[in-house]
Structure formats: C-alpha cells, structure tokens
Amino acid sequence: MSVQFSETSMQEFKRLVAAYPEGKQKSAVIPVLHLAQKEFGGWLDVPVMDYVASLLNILPIEVYEVATFYSMYNLKPVGRYMFEVCQTGPCMLNGSDDIIKYIFEKLGIRPGETTNDGMFSLKAVECLGACGYAPMMQMGKNYREHLTKEKIDSIINECRENAVRQN
C-alpha cells in the first residue's frame, strides 16, 4: 500500500507546517498525525507514521515516540464510530460507570473492544474537561454531554443511520 495524502490534505499539511519558523517543522508532528489518522482509517499504522516522518524530514523514531505517548492516537484499528467515555472523578460522581455498563449491554463491548461488524469501539478515557456536563463522551470531533441511557440509544441509532447513508 502506498501511503499518500490527498490533494486537500496536502494543502492542510502545508498550512500546518507554516505555523512554525523555518527549520522547526518537527513541531507540526502532532497536528500532522491528527490529519493522518483522520485520512488513513482512524489509526496510525507504521507505514503511515513513516510517511509523516518523510514529509516532515525527521526520523521515523521521532514520530513513533510521539504517537505512542499521546492518548488520542490509535495504534491499532478501531471501529467506524468510537465512543470515548470519560470515567474520571466528576463524571464518576454523575454515573459514568453506568454509561459504560449500558454500552456493554447494548453493544457487547468493553473498554478497548470493537464490535464484530467494525462499527463501534468503546474506550474509557480520563478527564476531557466537560465535568459540569457529566456524564459525557467524545465522538469524533465533538462531545456528547449529559448522557443518559436514552441518549446512548439515540446516538447508536444515529450512527447506524449515518453509516447506511454513507455506504
């Protein structure tokens, strides 16, 4: 498989790198990895990381060490929709344990697992800065807050409907 950014992503790549002084393009590794993860299926395979290294003109190890440090990068395949449910103190006080349990009842997946059809992944994460709107989870770029069982039901339906529409 040859890894290559699309035309649009290449434009975005250039914009990201331009935020740093000349010779400091290594700084762009974090935003560029976000871009790569979005473009190449929601996770960072080694060839993808090598590609990012070549674009930024840095060593592959400089990309690996970053990709393995930060929790938003997925180093193995994930489902099409990822539910990242916060489980830290303030969310726990407001019932995040019940939300994680309910997702297990509905989809049969525990934190770290993906449904067999590759549709949903569940990740239990630490504080996302939405403590006043707990319980909550991140889904893609956005937060889903004040979660209830009913809300989980409707989010799951919404994902399934979107998937059908996009296929």
C-alpha dihedral (106, 38, 127, 46), degrees to nearest 10: 100
Q: Which stretch binds another protein (CB under 8 A): 4-12, 27-35, 109-117, 153-161?
A: 27-35
Q: Return the structure tokens found at 77.
A: 């395949």
70 binds another protein (CB under 8 A): yes
Q: Which stretch binds another protein (CB under 8 A): 90-98, 99-107, 109-117, 150-158?
A: 90-98
Among 57, 105, 129, 167, binds another protein (CB under 8 A): 129
Among 36, 87, 103, 107, binds another protein (CB under 8 A): 87
Interface positions with another protein (CB under 8 A)? 19-21, 24, 26-31, 33-34, 56, 58, 62, 65-66, 69-73, 87-90, 92-94, 125-134, 138, 141-142
